[in-house]
Amino acid sequence: MGLAIDASCDLPQAFLQKHNIAVMPITIRVDDEIFLDNRSQVELHRFLDRNLGSRSHSAETEPCSIEEVQKLFLDKLVLEQDCVFCLTITATRSAINDHVIKASFAVLKNYRDVRERNNVTGPFLMRVIDTRSLFAGSGPAIVEATRLIDAGEAPAAIRERLTYIANNSYGYMLPRDLYYLRARAKKKGDRSVGLMSAVLGSALDIKPLLRGYRGETGPVGKVRGFEHGAETLFDYAAKRVHAGLLVPAVCVSYGGDLAELAKLPGYDGLRAACEECGVELMEAPMSITGMVNVGEGAVTLGFAAEEHVAEF
């Protein structure tokens, strides 16, 4: 059994390589420049080194097309595995989930001929899971998938468990630049970040804490100053770690040089809580897609836990 994810699911490259996780890429166009977001560190650094800054909010993003998903599976994955789980960021914010579902019809219709030509026998299963979250918030379901596969669980049991984890995954984001976030939202026709809130928030250095949960995204709190916001978010996550998680992992991503993450206030406390409770703290650079959509310097954090009220 294997896994495929879309590029905007934020997890460390070493983790993806260890578990042989296929990445469905996203094409980014910023003016006349094209970037292929496939979680490649080379492409990520090329994007960061270009200092595109304020221009990125006007970027066009193209998720892996139906035809490209079909090609990935029929040229490669159906020959390497007998069952592949595809995990994507929430369908309410990206077309990738819909593309993968539509591609699956052709894959399941045509895989037999491909496998027979290559002397591969037996049926092939393809299952699509909507993580119902964004960026690092998609991480817990993917981590759980690797645990279940390593434990030799049956596909039906894995699908049921991943659906449960997706429904109980919490993804949080702290943006650094509200003007950028508002410009990007306007570009996409999203009215969730109004001009006045962006102007007032920037003038007073007030940042919203945003949450992705069960396909819905929106603010759950406000903090004054980015560093104070980071401390508030990390302190909250540390408390949830102590309260108990459904998957023993906290996923964190940063929109820039990952070395900056550990310098933020409260991060040492989160790391200590994870070590004390046997929870893996998984750090990853934010995808190019993530930075285009929410701005460089943003923090996202994800974990899976029983339903609870967030208090900020």
Last residue of a domain, one of 125, 151, 167: 167
Task: Say whether 225 sits in a helix, a strand or coil.
Answer: coil
**Domain span including residue 89:** 2-167
Instruction: Tell whether 309 is covered by a domain.
Output: no
Find where tokens 């998938």 sit: 145
Q: What is the CATH number for 103? A: 3.40.50.10170
**Cβ contact 237:246 at 8 Å:** no
Last residue of a domain, one of 167, 188, 212: 167
Question: What is the predicted pLDDT for the residue at 275?
Answer: 98
Q: Are 47 and 177 in the same domain? A: no
The alpha carbon dihedral of 36, 41, 46, 52 has a sign of positive
pLDDT tens per residue across all 312 residues of the chain: 999 999 999 999 999 999 999 999 999 998 888 999 999 999 999 999 988 765 677 788 999 999 999 999 999 999 999 999 999 999 998 999 999 999 999 999 999 999 999 999 999 999 999 999 999 999 999 999 999 999 999 999 999 999 999 999 999 999 998 777 777 767 776 655 554 454 555 556 788 889 999 999 888 888 889 999 999 999 999 999 999 999 999 999 999 999 999 999 999 999 999 999 999 999 999 999 999 988 899 999 999 999 998 877
The alpha carbon dihedral of 48, 234, 24, 121 has a sign of positive
Question: What is the predicted pLDDT for the residue at 179?
Answer: 75
Q: Are 158 and 173 in the same domain? A: no
Instruction: Tell whether 138 is covered by a domain.
Output: yes
Burial class for 31, CB neighbours closer than 10 Å (0-12, 13-18, 19+): exposed
Q: In what order do the strands lie in the sheet with 206-213?
A: 216-224, 206-213, 169-174, 299-304, 249-254, 280-285
Q: Are 163 and 192 in the same domain? A: no
Q: How many domains does the chain have?
A: 2
Q: Are 78 and 225 in the same domain? A: no
Question: What is the predicted pLDDT for the residue at 58?
Answer: 77
DSSP letter for 265, please.
T
Instruction: Tell whether 311 is covered by a domain.
Output: no
CA-CA distance, 171 to 149, in Å (whole number)?
A: 24
Q: Are 256 and 297 in the same domain? A: yes
Q: Are 71 and 185 in the same domain? A: no
Q: Are 224 and 300 in the same domain? A: yes
Q: Are 223 and 279 in the same domain? A: yes
DSSP letter for 92, please.
T
Q: Are 185 and 300 in the same domain? A: yes
β-bridge pairing 216-224 and 33-37 = unpaired
Q: Are 130 and 44 in the same domain? A: yes
For the chain, the C-alpha Rg in angstroms (whole number) is 19
